[in-house]
Each structure stands twice: as structure tokens, then as C-alpha cells.
Structure 1
Amino acid sequence: MKLVLILISLSIQIHAISLQLQQVGGCTCEMASAQTECIPTTCDWDSTSSKCTHKTCDKFTVEMCDQLPDYFKCAWKDSSCQAFTKCSDYSYSDGFKCFRVGPCQAVFKKNSAGLYPCTDKTNDSMHSIDSCAGINQEGCVETVQDDGKVCYWNPSSSACEAWSNSACSNFDNTSQSACPKFSCDYNTTSGKCTTRTCDLITVEAACTMVWDITQQVATQCKWVNAKCMEFDYSTLTQPTCLVGSNLSYKWNSSTSKCEVCVQPKSDDDTDDTSYSSLAQVVLAIVIFINI
């Protein structure tokens, strides 16, 4: 009997279970091909033309206006939801509201009216900031500067600083308020700030997705058998594809697959046409052969 080692190179298509920020909720009303995909809270279905269009800004309350995707181009101003103009036209007592107004971010230095002005986004993080330096304590929470470093309020220096190597564990033994609650969890007993993962979520309503510490990539989660776990939205069936993916995927009737609505950003040498990563896997198979 001889031991024969055979190396086989296989290309395996591995579906990504993460989404970039611009992909989350990226399905527009106009992408709906059937009335069942036309979400009535934000879209209107025209039965004559069989087309779905997004509602105009004036149809939304302040609660809805603040949560609309950027493509709606709506913003709350002067006690009404209006068509978005430009970031510099808006200022709020709560600076974080700027992040919910189009492609904007806050300038965490109050103006003469005591409000935080909005300005154009400078990076792809959800709570983007050009630099942690010089911003006040209110803005030095959950903000990420252009190089991906997380802002942290240093009580010793009473200043906002950027962590040199952003990771949840960097915030060990600091304080619960310093541990970035958007992406991490703080254990008051051990003083550890740990990375949040789907399996650590114990409440079904919270089991949707978890963000990385730069707030640019979200891992998809789903509640299954009383547990939260990582989940690939592309495996959803037609009835659950759109809503079950938090409006990030829709059903493609041509391929009979649940597919992401917005293609991910990629480097110049990366194929934009696929949202899956192609992994080259070499398998060593040991076969016993009788001779």
C-alpha cells in the first residue's frame, strides 16, 4: 500500500457576510420591480405604470426624516422635512444630527448661535471627522478621523485624542464611556473593552448587524433558534430578501438570487462586478491506494 499525496487547486466562491456603509439600506424605491418590494412607509406604488418611486420630503415626520437614506435628499429644517441643499446650510444643538443629514458630518465647535454647524463628509465612517484634535468632549465619542483612528477623550489632558492603533482592546481599563459602544462592549467587572460579534448579542431586536470599530463595515447577523449568529443575506428567499436584509438586498428574478443592491467600493485592481470574494484554496488530499 502506498501513500499518495495529491494536491488539488480549487477555486471556491465564498459569499461575503459583511457590508460596506454605503451598501447598508442601499436598495432604492426605484429598484423595486413589484408592489410587494415597494415599502409603503417611504415609497409610493403607481399601479398604472407599475413603478415604485420614493415619497417627497414633505411627507415625512421629523423621526422619519432623520432616518432616511441619503438618496432621498431630505433634511429637517425650520420644523419641516425639506429637500436637502448643502451641508453648510444646516446646524443643530445635537452635532450628531449632522450625520443624519445627507453626506454630512459635524464641526464640533459651536457657532455664535450655540449650534454645531454641518460640513461635507471627509471619510467613509458613519461618524466621520477630519481630525480628533481640537474638538470638544461631546464630539469626542464614536467619531473616527480620516486615517481610521478612533477619537478618545483623555481625562488627564482634557483633550480629544486619536488612538494610534484603533481596536476595542485599546480601551481596556479606561472607562465604560470611553469604550466605543457602537462597536465594542465594556465589562465593568474585568475592565475589558471587547469587540462585539453577532453571537454576543442576546436581544433579538438588536440582532441585525455589528459594525467594525471604524464604522465602515458591518457584519450581518440573524436571530436563529434563540441565538444571534452571523448570516449571509444572499441566502434569503424571495419573500424575505428585501426586508430581511434591512433593505440592503433585493430579489433578482433573472438569477433567482437575493443580491446586494449597491456594489461595494473596491481598489482599481479589484473586480467591481461581484460582491463575493474569490478565494483560491489548495487542498491536500491523502488517498490510500492498494497496488
Structure 2
Amino acid sequence: MYFRCYSTQIICSTAVGNDGLCFWEVGSTTNNNTAKCRLLSCADIQNGTSISVCQAALPSCISNGTVCIPKAKCSTYTTKTACNFGGLDGICVFTQSTSAQAVADSGTCTLMNSCSSANNDQNACVAAQDRCSWSPASSTITSICTNHTCGTYNQVSGTCSRFFNWDKQSQQICSMINGICTATDPSTLKQSDCFKFSGYTYTWNSSTNKCQVCTKKDQPNGPINNTINDTNNTNTAQGLLLTFILGYLMI
């Protein structure tokens, strides 16, 4: 709700309401010639040709290259400027329109769902550089966005350790072998490297002297077992008490 006391342009123009920045809307045919103080929207921001201008005024806004617009899902964007910023749903991939009437930097925008989906969009591929590697086009090959290898990840990050696949459900372990960052089977790691290099998913087995995947141990004294033990202890105590009473009555 807005504060009712913001009834003048001077107060409204510098005020912050309970729900955000205030904006003085002058009277016009669109509001029945009734000036009012309302919440600032992206469309109210002046000179919104750049992301920085829009974000400085209202963090929930971005630019489409012409005006400020609300940040939304990738599929709602129609310009390269907005698409390159990213959507509420993730990294966006821009595809330039090939229509004869299309203007520069206008087209479709989709959610990036794999490295290869950004083969023609360097900005999207670089935005996902923790998982993807960009190779620009040359006279002999087209541009391509591919899954990292240990070598490409080492070049981008400066480290030779591990990286996730696209959906982050698995990871590739890497280690330096003869000065080259190489894909490594975690079971071959040394004891000193096993836990850390595997991303804390492997541990050293001293009985086999090998690095092995971490497994969940059963808890012998868990809640269920404790309940069983408590029940057994209770039954034992009740049995002893009954024996004592019967023995006393027989005296």
C-alpha cells in the first residue's frame, strides 16, 4: 500500500512507499487527467537504453535496448540486449531473426538447456563457462559451444580439479599428469588427493589402499533400534517385577 500522505509531487518524487519507490504520474487522458502518486514501474524509467540505467533505478528491471522492461523468463524477450542479460529461469540463448523485415538484434530468446544449444551465441556459452567451452568460428569451422574437457576447464578456470556436467548431476575428476590436466578415474587417486580432488565424494579405504566412493553407513543406534532396545528393556524389567511378586506371594 502507498502512504496516503504522498499527495504532492514534491513528496512523491522523493518518497519510498511500503512496497517500493514512488512515482508521480501527471494527469493525462490515460488516467482521466488525474495526477497521482503510484509505484515506480520499469516503463517510467527515462533513457532506458542500457541495462545499467534500468538496474540503477529499479533492480527488477532490465533494458531491451530501447526502454526498460521487467526481468522475466527468457521466452518473453525479443531483443539480443534483454536476452543476453538472462531470464528469471536461467541463462538465455538468442537467435537472430532471418526475416527480411527484421531489425538488427531482434529475434527469439530461449532458455539454455545444454552447451550445444548455444552454438551460435557466445554470450550464453560464456555465461555457462563453469560447464561449457566456447570455440569461435574460423575459415574452416563454425562456432561451437561444447561440454568442457579437463583441458578446456583448466584453461578457463586456471585450476585442474573437477567440474560438473550440464545438469550438475555428475562431475568429471581431473588431475595433472605430466603437466597436462587429464580426466582421472577417482579410484586411482592417491590417499592425499582422494577426498579433496573427488569433491568430497570419495574417501580412502585403508584396508584396500584405494580411493573409493563414499557410502552411507547404517546407524546401529538409530531411533528405530533405540525404540526396539527400549521396548526390550521394558519387557525385561516387567518380567523381573512379575517374578518377584509371585515369589513373594508364595512365601
Q: Which has the larger share of helix?
A: 2
Q: Under a length normalisation based on structure 2, what TM-score does the superposition of the two structures give?
A: 0.40
**Greater percentage in strand:** 1
Relative to the length of structure 1, the TM-score reads 0.35
Of the two structures, which has the highest relative contact order with CA contacts closer than 8 Å and spacing of 6 or more? Answer: 1
Work out which of the two has the higher radius of gyration on C-alpha atoms and give 1 or 2. 2
